[in-house]
């Protein structure tokens, strides 16, 4: 219930996030959000039989999500500081990380979407993409709450780590493919 109270505060008074004192239970709510979001994503992927079953599989995904978001929050905060956007009163990477966790509650919607996909009444990929877009939108809003920046800069900051990782992935993929072709041909 404490988590619900924190979420209620964040929804009704989003300015509380940027207050000198962080909202009570933000850390707890953030971790609960990460877990609920990971569980939603895990169940969505399990419904499509795309991930191995078991608690270990879920935990591995959970720790990956935590690590990735920790990195993302750090990178975004660094980007903001480097570009001169000082965080509002007591913001920072830690608060950003916890707040990102609250946005991960949105991924819980993937569970019913997975159902609808299995029932062939809804395109699962479309739902997944929609969920990710809503998540990004919520994160952009969060960043704007914590840092005095424009919407475009907040969007750039949120998208930056994803874009960097995507670029790295594709560079690795292309290099790997070229290497593989060289080995085989």
Partner 1 sequence: MEEQNIGGAAPQAEEPRKTAVQTPAPGGTRVWLKLIAGLYLVSLVAAFALIAKADAVKKTRAKEMDISKLSALTKAKKDAVGVVEIYGAISQGSSSRSWERGSQQIARKIAEVAAEKEVKAVVLDINTPGGSVGAVQEIYSVIRRAKLETKKPFIARFGEVSASGGYYVASACDLIVAQPGTITGSIGVIFSVANFEGLMKKVGFKSEAIKSGKFKDIGSPTREMTPEERRLLQGMIDDSYAQFVAAVAEGRKMPEDKVKLLADGRIYTGRQGLENGLVDKLGDLQDALDAAGEMGGIGKKPRIVRETAPFEQFLSLMDSRLQPFGTKAMADALGATPSLEYRWDGR
Q: Which residue pairs from 7-14 have beta carbons closer than 8 angstroms and sit at least 24 positions apart in sequence?
A: 7/102, 7/105, 10/99, 10/102, 14/141, 14/145
Binding of residue 8 to partner 1 (CB under 8 A)? yes
Q: Which is nearer to partner 1, 40 or 161 (CB)?
A: 40
DSSP, collapsed to helix, strand or coil, labels residue 120 as coil
Which residues are CB-contacts of 91 (< 8 A; sequence separation ≥ 6)? 18, 146, 147
Binding of residue 52 to partner 1 (CB under 8 A)? no
Residue 76 Cβ, how far from partner 1 at the closest point, in Å?
18
Binding of residue 11 to partner 1 (CB under 8 A)? yes
Binding of residue 56 to partner 1 (CB under 8 A)? no
Binding of residue 53 to partner 1 (CB under 8 A)? yes
Measured distance CA(4)–CA(50) in Å, rounded:
31
Among 108, 131, 146, 154, interactor with partner 1 by CB under 8 A? 108
Residue 37 Cβ, how far from partner 1 at the closest point, in Å?
11
Which residues are CB-contacts of 111 (< 8 A; sequence separation ≥ 6)? 40, 43, 44
Which residues are CB-contacts of 84 (< 8 A; sequence separation ≥ 6)? none
Q: Which is nearer to partner 1, 76 or 102 (CB)?
A: 102
User: In whole angstroms, what separates CA 179 from the centre of its chain?
Assistant: 33
Among 28, 47, 75, 137, interactor with partner 1 by CB under 8 A? 47
Contact residues for partner 1 (CB under 8 A)? 4-5, 7-9, 11-13, 16, 19-21, 23-24, 36, 39-40, 43, 46-47, 49, 53, 86, 89-90, 108, 111-112, 114-115, 118, 182-183
């Amino acid at each position: 219930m404490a988590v619900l109270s924190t979420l209620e505060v964040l929804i009704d008074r989003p300015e509380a996030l940027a207050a000198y004192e962080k909202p009570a239970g933000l850390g707890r709510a953030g971790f609960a959000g990460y877990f609920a979001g990971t569980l939603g994503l895990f169940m969505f992927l399990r419904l499509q039989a795309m991930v191995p079953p078991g608690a270990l599989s879920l935990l591995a995904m959970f720790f990956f999500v935590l690590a990735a978001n920790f990195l993302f929050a750090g990178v975004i905060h660094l980007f903001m500081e480097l570009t001169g956007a000082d965080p509002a009163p007591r913001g920072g990477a830690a608060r950003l990380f916890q707040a990102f966790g609250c946005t991960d509650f949105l991924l819980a919607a993937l569970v019913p979407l997975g159902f609808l996909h299995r029932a062939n009444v809804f395109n699962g990929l479309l739902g997944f993409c929609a969920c990710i877009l809503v998540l990004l939108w919520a994160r952009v809003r969060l960043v704007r709450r914590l840092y005095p920046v424009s919407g475009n800069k907040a969007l750039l900051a949120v998208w930056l780590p994803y874009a960097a990782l995507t670029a790295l992935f594709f560079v690795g993929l292309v290099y790997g493919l070229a290497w593989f072709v060289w080995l085989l041909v």
